[in-house]
Amino acid sequence: MTDDAIPRFSGLTLDDVQRYAAKYIWWKSPPEAARYPLRVIAQVLDIGTFEDCFGLLERVGEEPLREVLRHAQAGWFRPRSWYFWHHKLGMAELGKVPDLPGRRFL
């Protein structure tokens, strides 16, 4: 996904994204990771602390987090957080959560 395809998150600054990246994206530098805010936010939703996850929800609202789930790529979420956030954000009924994104092989 290119930068121009990434939805904008009002209430979240570049410094915020870099702070989350420094904490949760250990394989890239914060400025490099911040070029992909969807990935950074997905990582917070997947492994973040309660405070970080719900602080993020409070700052940006539900719809931007729904966008992260809609654009998630394979490996971004573990089943537990995938199911939790789909239910928390009203995107699925109990037992009707979409499958995790998967890799496709030719």
Which residue blocks in the chain are alpha helix, DSSP H? 14-24, 30-33, 37-47, 50-60, 62-70, 79-88
Number of domains in the chain: 1
List pLDDT tens digits, range 30-55: 999 999 999 999 999 999 999 999 99
Give the residue numbers spanning the domain of 57: 11-88
Task: Classify residue 44 by burial, with Cβ atoms within 10 Å: 0-12, 13-18, 19+.
Answer: buried
Closest C-alpha among 22, 9, 6, 19 to residue 60: 9
How many C-beta neighbours within 10 Å does residue 9 have?
A: 21
Considering the domain boundaries, does residue 28 fall inside one? yes
Considering the domain boundaries, does residue 49 fall inside one? yes
Considering the domain boundaries, does residue 105 fall inside one? no
Query: pLDDT value at position 8?
Result: 63
**Above 90 in pLDDT, residue 65?**
yes
Considering the domain boundaries, does residue 79 fall inside one? yes
| Spatial separation of the C-alpha atoms in residues 99 and 58, rounded to whole Å | 26
**Above 80 in pLDDT, residue 4?**
no
Considering the domain boundaries, does residue 66 fall inside one? yes
Task: Classify residue 47 by burial, with Cβ atoms within 10 Å: 0-12, 13-18, 19+.
Answer: middle
Query: pLDDT value at position 7?
Result: 53
Considering the domain boundaries, does residue 62 fall inside one? yes
Considering the domain boundaries, does residue 36 fall inside one? yes
Considering the domain boundaries, does residue 47 fall inside one? yes
